[in-house]
Structures are given as C-alpha cells and as structure tokens.
C-alpha cells in the first residue's frame, strides 16, 4: 500500500515532481502519484485529502505553481503532514508559489521546501517514515555517507588537478 501521496496541480509540474518519485523509489518507499487541481477540480481535491488516511498514506507531498493553494487546501482536509513544493512557473518564477505555500496562516501548517525542491520534499517524507522504521534510518545514513564521500572526492580531485584542469575535465 502506498505510504506517500505525491500530488500536483498540473501535468506541467511533473518534470519537477518526478524527482520526488525517483527519491522515494530509491529508498523503496511505495507512493501514489496524482494530478488534481485545487481550483479546476475542487471536489476531487477534497475527496483526495479526505480519503488519504483511509488509503494508508502517511505523508503527502503537494506541488503547485502560481497562487499555489493546493498544499494548503489538502492540509486543511487531512491530519497527515503535508510537504509543499513551490513550482517555478509564470511571470513570478515560483516566488508567488513559495510565498503562498510557506505563508500558511496559523492553525494549518504546510512544511515548505525550496522552489522546485521536490527531491528534498521526498527526503523529508522518508525521514518522517524513518522515525518508525530502522531500515529506512540506515538507508538515510548510507545516503548521507555517499554524499559526503562525493564531496571529499571532488576536493581531492580539485587539489590534484588544479582549477583549470578540473574545470576542463
């Protein structure tokens, strides 16, 4: 049964939101993925949020651009934690979505990641699930160890090759 719901306001968000799906797959976390707009499909959006707990979801990642109300609307209709991903789109390039999502009024929180930060949204979801899952905790430790190793390798290479050769390579 999927533990994470990834939902987005439009298929135009998919190129960004697919990163969340990739991270969840990498950690072996089952997810469902949905396109459902809060303003174009308001009733379906409420149905999605209202049924989320019964469907077995434990956390929701919601991405939207523009006047991005989808994460807040979903958070208002479920007790599950909602992680909002502001999508870069339109004249304001995601700053509109960032402000809309991060500035949720008191009472209904939405955890907000960076503009287009769907990978971090998925990592945060994995961390939430890892609270009660030792195997996921170990997988997160390994993931961080690999990241650290990659930085150390880059540093070693830079100091072996020098700036010019590093940049050319």
Structure tokens at 107: 């009472």
User: Minimum distance between the CB of residue 129 and ligand RP5, rounded to whole angstroms?
Assistant: 25
User: Minimum distance between the CB of residue 66 and ligand RP5, rounded to whole angstroms?
Assistant: 4
User: Minimum distance between the CB of residue 5 and ligand RP5, rounded to whole angstroms?
Assistant: 15
Q: Is 120 exposed, middle or buried (0-12, 13-18, 19+ CB in 10 A)?
A: middle
66 φψ region: left (φ > 0), alpha (ψ -120 to 50), beta (else): left
25 CB-side CA count, 13 A: 7
List, in sequence order, every residue forming a beta bridge with 34; answer none if it has no partner.
Answer: 7
Pairing of strands 111-112, 4-8: unpaired
Q: What is the rounded radius of gyration, in angstroms, for the C-alpha atoms of the chain? A: 18
Q: Which is nearer to ligand RP5, 35 or 108 (CB)?
A: 35
Q: Which is nearer to ligand RP5, 121 or 136 (CB)?
A: 121
Q: Which is nearer to ligand RP5, 71 or 136 (CB)?
A: 71
Q: Which is nearer to ligand RP5, 38 or 129 (CB)?
A: 38
Nearest to 117 by CA among 166, 61, 71, 158: 61
Residues near ligand RP5 (CB under 6 A) are 8-10, 12-13, 37, 64-66, 87, 89
User: Minimum distance between the CB of residue 95 and ligand RP5, rounded to whole angstroms?
Assistant: 13
Q: Which is nearer to ligand RP5, 29 or 100 (CB)?
A: 100
User: Minimum distance between the CB of residue 85 and ligand RP5, rounded to whole angstroms?
Assistant: 10
């Amino acid at each position: 049964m999927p533990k994470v719901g990834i939902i987005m306001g439009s298929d135009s968000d998919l190129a960004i939101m697919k990163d969340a799906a990739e991270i969840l797959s990498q950690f072996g976390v089952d997810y469902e993925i949905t396109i459902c707009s809060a303003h174009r499909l308001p009733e379906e959006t409420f149905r999605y949020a209202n049924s989320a707990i019964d469907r077995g979801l434990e956390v929701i990642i919601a991405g939207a651009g523009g006047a991005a109300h989808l994460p807040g609307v979903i958070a208002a209709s479920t007790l599950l934690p909602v992680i909002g991903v502001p999508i870069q789109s339109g004249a304001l390039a995601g700053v509109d979505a960032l402000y809309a999502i991060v500035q949720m009024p008191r009472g209904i929180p939405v955890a907000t990641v960076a503009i287009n930060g769907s990978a971090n949204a998925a990592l945060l979801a994995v961390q939430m699930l890892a609270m009660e899952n030792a195997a996921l905790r170990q997988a997160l430790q390994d993931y961080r160890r690999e990241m650290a190793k990659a930085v150390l390798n880059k540093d070693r290479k830079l100091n072996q090759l020098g700036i010019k050769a590093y940049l050319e390579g």
